Amino acid sequence: MLKSLLTFILAASATIISMSAGSHNQKNNIMWLDLSGMWTRFTCPDTVDYYMDRIVDCGFNTVVIDVRNTGSSVGYKSDIAPRLLDWKGVRIDPEYDYLDTVLTSAKRHGLTAYAAFNIFCESYPWFVRGGGILSGDTLTWRSQNYIPGKGIVPAPENEGPGTAFCNPALKTVQDYEQSLLLECASRYPVDGILVDRCRYDNITSDFSPESRRLFEEYAGVKIERFPEDIYEWKLMPDSSYNRIDGPLFKQWIEWRASVIYNFFKDTRSKLKQVNPDLKFGAYTGAWYPSYYEVGVNWAGPEYDPSLHFDWATPRYKEYAIAPLLDLYTNGNYYKNISLDDYYRSNGLVKNETDSEWQSGEHLCVEGACRYSRMLLGERPFQGGLYVVDYDSDVNEFKRAVEMNVRQSDGVMVFELYHIIRTGWFDALKEAVQAAQ
């Protein structure tokens, strides 16, 4: 049913694509500069300039300078967060300002520059054990995840990714995350702030007593069985677990989307107070039909998912974040590039945040771009690609670059480190030029 629905949607979006193509002729090609990946290279100003030259030569006009990845530390001089000074065996002089150095070089090369922050993903587990941000009183910030066969346990004690998400609904967490963005925006002449992982961890989070209280207040209900009235994990004969949705599941999904929406809305307002010209951007996964699992509705409010998906309430569309963003890029992280590629595959994909395998024409680069265009309408977006997906085939990499540039309003390449590692600068330049 989902595939036939998306076939209809993609066909209907062809008109939208043709109408909007003329209004988005200027492509905004974005290069992501990952803090972890570039740390060992960007501790030398001359090396920074060298790579900025290469980025411009490849046809890019925007860089995203990651200054806070999935750890607690930041790559700039902060009075709030612990500062990253030692990473991967390379220690910098405390007087060296990573963000200032990279930002200055980017500006000198005529590039638009965003500072990027991972939000709500506060620590690696070893930071928790070692004391970092999530220690002492702030241990209460940790997401409480409802894990099959284990019940409700705090991150990162549950098995899964090596990161510890916070509970996005907590005001103390929101205030802390916003304080970092506001500090950076007020101290550095960045063109914009971009947020990543501004979401829930996955469908299992957060089931803390505080989230229960806030949901009951939002929905005007009293939960009799928690978490079973939201959903429960049922053990199957093959030892797997099925999620059985309870009577309050759809309202729970709606409430989580409201939490993320209100954080975006409030953050945008506060950033614009610091600098009205500052751009506010976001990066999400492209897999909209299952992205409700992390509480993010990245479509425009004109689109009503309740008409197509049984997880959405009619109010879900009210929490669409697209109007709050000056820049939006999503991860079209698929090895299948064209719709024909997808048709030749088994059709099953499990994205990073998915609880189950998914199918549908949106699960390839071409389909994801066309679907995103339909969901966003006239709002521009940049289709993102993960270089690692094409490590074994430079021609597939070039096809992916071209597809994103042609079908969206530019390409976002994640990330520069992998272009350096593969030596694909010439291939990247050729692909961008071919698609323009």
Task: Please write the tens of the pLDDT for every residue from 184-214.
Answer: 999 999 999 999 999 999 999 999 999 999 9
Residues 102, 108 contacting (CB under 8 angstroms): no
CB atoms within 10 A of CB 354: 18
> What is the pLDDT at residue 61?
98
Q: How far is CA 88 from CA 22, 270, 417, in A?
A: 46, 35, 14
E strands, 318-397, in order? 327-331, 382-386
Q: Which residue has 């990952």 as its token pair?
A: 34
Which residues in 106-135 are b (16+ Cβ under 10 Å) and which e?
beebebbbbbbbbbbbbbbbebbeeebbbe
Q: What is the DSSP letter of 275?
A: -
> What is the pLDDT at residue 124?
52
Residues 194, 281 contacting (CB under 8 angstroms): yes
In whole angstroms, what is the distance from residue 231 CA to residue 67 CA?
37
What tokens does 294 get? 């992390």
> What is the pLDDT at residue 69?
84
- Domains, the chain, ordered by start: 2-20+28-142+155-200+257-435 (3.20.20.80)
When computed from its CA atoms, the radius of gyration of the chain, rounded to whole angstroms, is 21
> What is the pLDDT at residue 136?
73
Residues of the chain with pLDDT under 50: 1, 3-4, 8, 14-24, 125-131
Which residues in 75-89 are b (16+ Cβ under 10 Å) and which e?
bbbbeebebbeebee
> What is the pLDDT at residue 4?
46
Residues 155, 145 contacting (CB under 8 angstroms): yes
E strands, 23-155, in order? 30-33, 62-68, 86-87, 90-91, 112-118, 121-123, 144-147, 151-154
Which residues in 401-430 are b (16+ Cβ under 10 Å) and which e?
bbbbbbbbbbbbbbbbbbbbebebbebbbb
